[in-house]
A = this chain, B = another copy of it.
Amino acid sequence: MSDDPSRPAPPGRRGRVTLVDVAREAGCSVSLASIVFRDAPGASEATRERVRAAAKRIGYRPDSRAAGLRRANSGLIGVTYDVRQPFHAGIIECLYQAADERRDIALALGATYPGRDDSRAAEALLRERCEALIMLGPQIRTRAIAALAAEVPVVVVARKVRAPGADQVRVDDSGGLALVIEHLIALGHRAITHVDGGGAPGTKARRRGYLKAMRAHGLEEFIDVIPGGHTGDAGVSAGRALLGRGSLPTAVAAFNDISAIGLSTWLGISQLGIPGDISVTGFDDAPEAASAIVPLTTVSQNLQLMTRTALDRAVDRARDRCLPGEHIIVPRLITRTSTGPPR
């Protein structure tokens, strides 16, 4: 408590509790206290307890900025995602779970929305000195991603992008869509329409899966793709378009769950029974798919595996400088009650 009045007011003692205070309170050296909070070897269990108790007593909280500044690696992994995308929310949850399993990793979120693109979000994250970037379905152009990948390890999730230097982790979109088509065909369907993603990441691959599966079963003449999108609105519009035409297919494979639910809603309102009159399928296995009015047959991306892979890649690339690669997650068919034999 002996402030030296001769010197200009030291801005240090502003009431902030630091590691020094903890060490003094616990009666040990700062190095030891540091070891305890880093979970590093070199302290007995007894001292660990003592130090932690002291910290709690005086209200100490580690300063992760200072720690990151000092160590070579900040332990921060940046994640850019679309704040409006429910599917991204699910991935964020899984990423947190994966990160919580490692004591040394923290996540920094960078939200994206129509007025703030992935580049902006990434820039803010990099100023915080993230070691690596995980980008969920980035909407910026490939060369912008490549530019980022040149500066920092980048892992692109849920979008196919040929950016050299960026890892890719995504489901086999083509194979996933083929899965539901095979399922519908096995049920006896032939007139199967695909409502596409209208430009959302994965649109082309899923459409390719549809075409491939139809052709593989000699159903070329039934091939029917109508424009859609990844939102519920897009599904509603597609439903409207579908009903506006002369004949109805016996099944519709939508681009994703949200769109499939919008579509189902419109069909339901138009007094069509699902799956009695028409079968509907989605993609993603979003939480909404299971709890929809008609639980949706869909394709699971195995988020656990996907996020774990993404995080591991991000950390490994940041630490060991290993080479970027492509990681394709095998999709799985989830059968629910929105599909049945044709009418």
Task: List B contacts of A224 (CB < 8 A).
Answer: none
| A21 interfacial by beta-carbon distance below 8 Å | no
CB-contact partner of A232 in B62, B109, B236, B288, under 8 A = B288
A151–B92 Cα gap in the complex (Å)?
28
Is A293 positioned at the interface, with any CB of B under 8 Å from its CB?
yes
| Chain B: CB-nearest residue to A89 | B83
A144 at the interface (CB under 8 A from B): no
From B14, B65, B271, B287, contact of A68 by CB (8 A): B65
Assuming A93-B115, A111-B96, A116-B96, is B128 touching A65 (CB within 8 A)? yes
Specify which chain B residues have a CB less than 8 angstroms from the CB of A65 in the assembled complex: 65-66, 68-69, 74, 128-129
Known: A69-B65, A236-B293, A265-B293. A115 touches B97 (CB 8 A): yes
The main secondary structure of chain A at its interface with chain B is: helix
Chain B residues with CB below 8 A from A266, complex form: 293
Residues of chain B lying within 8 A (CB to CB) of residue A61: 123, 126-127
In angstroms, Cα B183 to Cα A74, docked, is 55
Query: A124 at interface (Cβ–Cβ under 8 A)?
Result: yes
Give the CA-CA distance A185 to B11 in the complex, in Å.
59
Residue of A63, A106, A291 with most chain B CB atoms under a 10 A cut-off: A63
Query: Hey, which bits of chain A sit against chain B, CB under 8 A?
Result: 11, 14, 59, 61-66, 68-69, 72, 74, 83-84, 86, 89, 92-93, 96-97, 106, 108-111, 113, 115-116, 123-124, 126-129, 151, 232-233, 236, 265-266, 268-269, 271, 287-288, 291, 293
26 residue pairs A–B, Cβ–Cβ below 8 Å: A11-B72, A14-B72, A59-B151, A61-B126, A61-B127, A63-B69, A64-B129, A65-B129, A83-B92, A84-B86, A92-B113, A93-B111, A93-B113, A93-B116, A96-B111, A96-B113, A96-B115, A97-B115, A108-B108, A109-B109, A109-B111, A232-B291, A233-B291, A265-B268, A265-B269, A268-B268
